[in-house]
A and B are shown apart, each in its own frame.
Chain A
Amino acid sequence: MRFLLLTLYLIAMTTVAAQNADDNIIVTQETSTYHLREKNGRLSSVKAVNTKKFLARRADDTALAVTFFNNDISIDKASAPGARPQYRAWENDDLFYDGSRVCYLKVPLKKDKEASAVMERTYKTPEQFCEIMLTSPYYTENARYEINVPSKLSAAINITPMYLPEGVKLQREVSSNGDLTYIVELVSRKGSRNEPLAPPPSISSPKLMITGLFRDVAQLYSFMHGTILPDNGDTAPLAAQAAALVDGLDNNFDRAAAIADWVRLNIRYLAVEHGEYAFRPDQASSVFQKRYGDCKGSANLIKAMLRSVGIDGRLVWIGTAGHVDTDWTEIPSVASGNHMIAAAILPDTILYLDGTASYCPRGYYTPGITGRQVIIEDGDNFIISRVPENANGSDMYCFNASFRVNGTDIAGTVEHRLSGVYRYAFENAYNGRDASRRDDFVRSYLSPPKRTVEWETISVADVAPDASETRLTADVVEKKAVNMVGDKMYLDLRPLRNITLKPVVEKGRTKGIRLTSGFKMTANIDVYVPDGYKIDPATERCKKFDSPWFNGWVMTESTPDGIRCTAEVNTGDTEASLNAVPEWNKALRDLINISNTQIALIKQ
């Protein structure tokens, strides 16, 4: 929905961090001051002044001071000795256009001599001023953030700190005339960088949330709902399309699903987010006619199409998991949301319909929205609710195979059954490929890691776009899966081969782990072994693994024709704190080792 400048800021910070591989450049002092301006008792604008003192410790260098601006946030000053401000358009693959621009200063530094960069901006639309990230790509000795709230706003405006380091507190000072100053000071702050499997900075890095722009959820809703304009275009075509889609369907659940499916497959995602369009949904008639839109436009179209066939369609504001950590009721601010979906209000349930989730199985909610709090429009009122969690086991990957030993290879048929998030991800990737390269994609998707495979037939079951499961089958020869040592035959089956998680580097890590979603994987592998061989009793067993994050088992047993290997893994907690990362790594390694343990067969 609204691609906050904050998100761009975080992207820029990690880019600068990547370029600043070593710590030659540090910031000795950073001061950020935000002056809130009041007009008629309301917040009218915010003046932000940021000063960074850079220091090159070992050798002359060039520091980069970066800030973003757009039509709603002006850049008033950017200066540093020996540096000229450069202004560029900022383009992002996820957004077609949002008007974001970047201003940067390349600050030349002489060793051991500080140089200051000053950047001043004005937030002209106060709704944009809802979060302050307390991060920097550079190591910072001292950082001070100050928010000055005039007395007339002191009752309304609140500052809520989040993810502050231990021992750091938000201070509050009151002046004699009632003006408030909020202060956070950070000492010895490490530079931010990308870490694999770490929660995104927006939900893990220190920040300050500014609330009070909206007194409560009701006022926030009033603002957001106020951006929606009546549709003054021709809605007859979309109504006709909706009618055609629901023709012959006898219940509203199926009708709503048919409409949502059509929107997902026929409306290209193309986000235009500049100015008011960051909040205002595009008219349904326009989205229908253009055949493209962002999440807001798609949601608005679903709503309109639902209503045209007599289903109570609504717009829904939501903050997606992995990017927003707060509920609307907790922080009534635009920062608590970044996405819009639609809802069909049925007599006994609410169906949530995400217009951007192409190939989403019917009745399934993608990990980004499941469990998240929502605001559903209800005329002048609103409904607070929560997207239900998917049923247990919805995100499942089943691997079934039937092999026979063929020299040092195993040959046979494999079947992969994908549901939930697996299906969703596969279908989007598959259908997004040029037709001539889809087979290549399937091969690469099905190939077990670190194994050479010869392929014969490959088949992707042709199912409805919203089917609950995708089934891929292939006849394969997996090379070098068998080792002979004396009279012993070792089979390398790797039943949980589809786990792509890898242990993370612990040294220097600053954040914990958060998976985007939990999962369940199962495997059933039958192997027909050559005559005269049987499973080594020492191998015939069930090996379990159990940790807060992964639990499951791998079992190998004899069958009349050979052996059967079955396995299952379920995720538990999808998060691990920084202190727990070594244990998480160990748990993952244990799981992988158990899966990769070879099966020994001995001569009968």
Chain B
Amino acid sequence: MKYRAVILLIAIAAAIPAMALNEKFFRKADEKVWTMNIPEFNPRTEIPDSVADGASAVVIADYLDIKVDREIQQSALKATGMTNRMTRDKIRRVMIKMFDQSAVERFTDFEFGDRESFHLKGMLPMLGIEKAWGAKVHKPDGTVIDVDIKDAFSIGDGEKGDDNRKFKIAVPGLSVGDVLEYYYYTEEWLEEFNLPSVNIDIAGSYPVLNLMVKGEFNPDLTIEYRSHNGAPLLYREINERGYNTFNLHIINIPAVNIGVFTSAKRQVPFISMNFLNNTSMIFRPRSARAGGLYGNLPAGTYYTDVANMLKATKYDNPIPGRAIKLVKDYQKTHTDLTDDQLAAVAWIAFNYAVITNDRHKIGDRLGAVMFCDMLKKLKIEYPDALGIGILTPRTDVPVNEIISWNDPDYVAVYGETIFSPPLLLNNQPGEPAGIYQGEMVAAFPALGDKIDPSKQPVIFNVKSLKHTGNSTVLSTDVTIEEDDRLRLSHNMKLYGAQKHNVAGITTPDEWIMRAEEFLEIPEGKRVKSTRRDPEGRQTEIKKAMFDWIENSMGTRPESIEKVEILSRGNMPGETAIEYNVDCVMDGLVSRFGNDYNVNIGRIFGRNPQLEGKDRERSFDAMLTVPVQDSYIVTLHIPDGYSVAPESIASLNSRVINLAGMFYSDAHLNETGDLVIQSRVQLKSNIVPLSHWSELLAVLDAAALFNDTSVILSKK
């Protein structure tokens, strides 16, 4: 858990060994949950055919109850003399009806965690978590089977099996037509620190008749939430105890198909909620809110928190100094560096210093601050263009929907370029990762102590490399061997986000060696790793290349004869990852009589046709990045053979619309070889629902082209 990791950083761990299943606690949980009178938990509930039709299961009721309180007790073990605990009781109770065996199989068994506790050595206990689980099966005839918790099996690590323990239990007596009712119950507390956040999903893979969420919070504690993607707001009330409460009930939620081109965090309704102990001693932004229930606070509120945290970020670390020295040494022989070049060199030097330092692990926030300080000390030309930015990847909520200063990723900003720790091994300095391209950044001036939290950040968008910058270019020479296999000799270039397709092509050690070359570090000062194994590495690359070729070309080679990496695309001046490969593919050529049929479409990428539910949409389509894949294939026509004009014509195809493009074009060159050029282009990472059919048309055309063959006839 996040908070536990923080504790471990500041103190020596002395975890209390986990004990046996706490049956007393389970009985308490059973009593608490099963005596809750919630009318919606009725196993006889009539489920309309319109809801049940086509569903393997229907959730009759889904109930979440969160109670957060504060516990203050006298304690001699603490300097303040008092504890300051945040406690949370959470109940999740679900009733679900099984309509077919696949649902029975899915709910046939459950896992739940063990109790946990932690205390500082010889000092105060810091956290405690007790967990319970229970279930019942309601049969159609009215009988109820209680699941006996004693039937759970314990699974854990360590010599005695009691580390990281969890429990597994099978639900007895569950059949089609039954109603399963189960709960998870947790009681947890944490000394001084904030409890982990909770996400409340509004929709899931089964229809839900009743979703009920309740909360009750001690007014001294700060609860902040946000409703994402159309999730409802929570109406706050104050109960007789003076506690903040909310009570949400939504009925008839349809199932959501989270298939291809969908980002759950950006498109499916959910509520994120944070639980903050802002009365504690733990460091927090000066702008942190006092006790209360706050919903959908303006983004600026959190930007102010970020500014306050940045203002307070200090470090005592030799890495920037070491990196600055590397840059200055480099500058001695490269005196005319432009600003951008200086920033790139500094980035390489900084990451070299980080990666070769075993002791200091640098997080993104500290890394961004350090790098900005470094650039200032190197007297970058426009220090006012330096800043610390926060942003989120496309797989997460946008940065203007965060609910904590801790949510976003921190980057260093110079002008319109972002430098994002930690290092991306395949990317050039300042080259944004695909998941960041086009995303909103909130940038604060990199002034350290002088940051003014009352000033809002500058908002801009990370540069998108567009489809042309996130592209692959594959050039292939194809020869038909005597045994009807195809021999391919190809050159592949990957740009931008497409470099991610060959993750693993550069290891940290290989990056270090490239950085040393680039920075011109003297031989005697370079890292001497005794783990370098070029021969083993070549074997690894060759093995990985089978997968990479299958992904890029659509067909797995039978054998790979040569792999040559020409560029790793991660240093200035190396925009692309580039490699040459010679391989052999089988199963693409067939003969009839003297004629050949070459299934040439099968080396133009893997473009599966979307089928069934994947073709239906109710959301906009979200792609990670706009992309473009270009192919140039030269098929050498065997002596004595020719390609009919109709066959060449059948290779021509064109679909162009607002979502993108697919085209293919074939012709004979001057040496009589067949040259086929093809391109798939998806221009935008968001395709509105209204244009989904256009995106489908492009994808269908690309998929269809994979089926294309060319006939070679004997002259």
CB distance from B59 to the nearest CB of A (A): 14
Partner of B602, one of A96, A290, A450, A485: A450
CB-based contact B170/A436 at 8 Å? no
Partner of A111, one of B161, B530, B543: B530
CB-based contact B646/A484 at 8 Å? yes
Q: CA–CA, A434 to B106, complex, Å?
A: 9
Interface range for A: 35 or more
CB-based contact B170/A270 at 8 Å? yes
Q: CA–CA, A444 to B559, complex, Å?
A: 28
Partner of A436, one of B54, B172, B591, B708: B54
Within 8 A of B (CB), among A172-190: none
Q: CA–CA, A266 to B104, complex, Å?
A: 10
CB-based contact A593/B108 at 8 Å? no
CB-based contact B650/A436 at 8 Å? no
* Residues of chain A contacted by B168 (CB below 8 angstroms): 96-97
Within 8 A of A (CB), among B253-310: 255, 257
For the complex, is A4 an interface residue (Cβ under 8 Å from B)? Answer: no
Q: Can you list 13 A-B contacts with CB-CB less than 8 angstroms, sorted by A residue number?
A: A61-B533, A88-B157, A89-B161, A97-B153, A483-B597, A486-B646, A490-B711, A502-B587, A503-B558, A539-B592, A592-B587, A593-B591, A597-B592
* Residues of chain B contacted by A265 (CB below 8 angstroms): 101
CB distance from A73 to the nearest CB of B (A): 14
Query: In the complex, given contacts A437-B613, A450-B602, what are 10 additional A-B residue pairs having Cβ atoms less than 8 angstroms apart?
Result: A59-B531, A86-B157, A289-B172, A434-B205, A447-B611, A483-B597, A484-B650, A490-B592, A490-B711, A600-B592
Within 8 A of A (CB), among B193-210: 205
CB-based contact A598/B175 at 8 Å? no
CB-based contact B535/A58 at 8 Å? yes
Q: CA–CA, A588 to B535, complex, Å?
A: 35
For the complex, is B536 an interface residue (Cβ under 8 Å from A)? Answer: yes
Q: Which stretch, B27-35, B570-578, B699-707, touches the partner chain A?
A: B699-707
CB-based contact A290/B172 at 8 Å? yes
Within 8 A of A (CB), among B515-555: 529-533, 535-537, 539-540, 543
For the complex, is A24 an interface residue (Cβ under 8 Å from B)? Answer: yes
Q: CA–CA, A453 to B709, complex, Å?
A: 16
For the complex, is B510 an interface residue (Cβ under 8 Å from A)? Answer: no
For the complex, is B502 an interface residue (Cβ under 8 Å from A)? Answer: no
* Residues of chain B contacted by A272 (CB below 8 angstroms): 153
For the complex, is A268 an interface residue (Cβ under 8 Å from B)? Answer: yes
Interface string of A420-455 (1 = CB under 8 A from B): 000000000001111111011001100100111101
CB-based contact A87/B709 at 8 Å? no
Q: CA–CA, A87 to B163, complex, Å?
A: 9
For the complex, is A21 an interface residue (Cβ under 8 Å from B)? Answer: yes
* Residues of chain B contacted by A111 (CB below 8 angstroms): 530
CB-based contact A58/B711 at 8 Å? no
For the complex, is B599 an interface residue (Cβ under 8 Å from A)? Answer: yes
Partner of B157, one of A89, A289, A447, A538: A89
For the complex, is A144 an interface residue (Cβ under 8 Å from B)? Answer: no
Within 8 A of B (CB), among A444-497: 444, 447, 450-453, 455, 479-480, 483-486, 490, 492
For the complex, is A507 an interface residue (Cβ under 8 Å from B)? Answer: yes
For the complex, is A291 an interface residue (Cβ under 8 Å from B)? Answer: yes
CB-based contact B590/A597 at 8 Å? yes
Q: CA–CA, A290 to B174, complex, Å?
A: 7
CB-based contact B158/A87 at 8 Å? yes
Q: CA–CA, A486 to B558, complex, Å?
A: 34
CB distance from A505 to the nearest CB of B (A): 6
For the complex, is B484 an interface residue (Cβ under 8 Å from A)? Answer: yes
For the complex, is B614 an interface residue (Cβ under 8 Å from A)? Answer: yes
CB-based contact A485/B708 at 8 Å? no
CB-based contact B533/A22 at 8 Å? yes
* Residues of chain A contacted by B713 (CB below 8 angstroms): 485
**Interface set of B (CB-CB < 8 Å, partner A):** 54-56, 99-106, 108-109, 153, 155-159, 161, 168, 170, 172-175, 205, 255, 257, 484, 529-533, 535-537, 539-540, 543, 558-559, 586-587, 590-593, 595, 597, 599, 601-602, 609, 611-614, 644, 646-647, 650, 700, 703-704, 706-709, 711, 713
CB-based contact A291/B175 at 8 Å? yes
CB-based contact A598/B105 at 8 Å? no
CB-based contact B536/A110 at 8 Å? no
Q: CA–CA, A21 to B504, complex, Å?
A: 14
CB-based contact B586/A503 at 8 Å? yes
Within 8 A of B (CB), among A268-285: 268, 270, 272
Q: CA–CA, A97 to B153, complex, Å?
A: 7
Q: CA–CA, A61 to B559, complex, Å?
A: 28
CB-based contact A59/B536 at 8 Å? yes
* Residues of chain B contacted by A59 (CB below 8 angstroms): 530-533, 536
CB-based contact B535/A439 at 8 Å? no
CB-based contact B56/A101 at 8 Å? no
For the complex, is A128 an interface residue (Cβ under 8 Å from B)? Answer: no
* Residues of chain B contacted by A389 (CB below 8 angstroms): none
For the complex, is A151 an interface residue (Cβ under 8 Å from B)? Answer: no
For the complex, is A378 an interface residue (Cβ under 8 Å from B)? Answer: no
Which 4 A-B pairs have CB atoms at the shortest separation, nearest pair first? A22-B536, A290-B172, A59-B533, A440-B612
CB-based contact A596/B590 at 8 Å? yes
* Residues of chain B contacted by A270 (CB below 8 angstroms): 108-109, 170
* Residues of chain A contacted by B158 (CB below 8 angstroms): 87
CB-based contact A91/B155 at 8 Å? yes
Q: CA–CA, A291 to B159, complex, Å?
A: 34
Most buried by B among A85, A439, A452: A452
For the complex, is A408 an interface residue (Cβ under 8 Å from B)? Answer: yes
Within 8 A of B (CB), among A79-106: 85-89, 91, 96-97, 101
CB-based contact B591/A597 at 8 Å? yes
Q: CA–CA, A101 to B159, complex, Å?
A: 9
**Which chain A residue has the least Cβ–Cβ distance from B611?**
A443
CB distance from A540 to the nearest CB of B (A): 12
Q: CA–CA, A435 to B99, complex, Å?
A: 9
Q: CA–CA, A383 to B529, complex, Å?
A: 65
CB-based contact B650/A434 at 8 Å? no
CB-based contact B105/A268 at 8 Å? yes
* Residues of chain B contacted by A533 (CB below 8 angstroms): none
Q: CA–CA, A291 to B530, complex, Å?
A: 57
CB distance from A67 to the nearest CB of B (A): 13
* Residues of chain A contacted by B172 (CB below 8 angstroms): 289-292
CB-based contact B173/A87 at 8 Å? no
CB-based contact A431/B108 at 8 Å? no
Q: CA–CA, A23 to B535, complex, Å?
A: 9
* Residues of chain A contacted by B593 (CB below 8 angstroms): 538-539, 600
For the complex, is A60 an interface residue (Cβ under 8 Å from B)? Answer: yes
Q: CA–CA, A589 to B588, complex, Å?
A: 11
* Residues of chain B contacted by A61 (CB below 8 angstroms): 531, 533
* Residues of chain A contacted by B173 (CB below 8 angstroms): 289-291
CB distance from B110 to the nearest CB of A (A): 11
Within 8 A of B (CB), among A514-547: 538-539
CB distance from B485 to the nearest CB of A (A): 10
CB-based contact B612/A439 at 8 Å? yes
Partner of A435, one of B102, B532, B539, B602: B102
**Which chain B residue has the least Cβ–Cβ distance from A486?**
B644
Q: CA–CA, A597 to B595, complex, Å?
A: 10
Given A450-B602, A598-B590, CB of A480 within 8 Å of CB of B533: no
Interface string of A285-297 (1 = CB under 8 A from B): 0000111100000
CB distance from B621 to the nearest CB of A (A): 18
Q: CA–CA, A91 to B706, complex, Å?
A: 40
**Which chain A residue has the least Cβ–Cβ distance from B159?**
A87
CB-based contact B614/A440 at 8 Å? yes
Q: CA–CA, A60 to B530, complex, Å?
A: 5
CB-based contact A24/B533 at 8 Å? yes
CB-based contact A485/B170 at 8 Å? no
Q: CA–CA, A592 to B484, complex, Å?
A: 12
CB-based contact A593/B704 at 8 Å? no
Within 8 A of B (CB), among A44-95: 58-61, 85-89, 91
**Which chain A residue has the least Cβ–Cβ distance from B484?**
A593
CB-based contact B597/A490 at 8 Å? yes
Most buried by A among B99, B104, B708, B709: B709
Partner of B708, one of A432, A434, A455, A480: A480
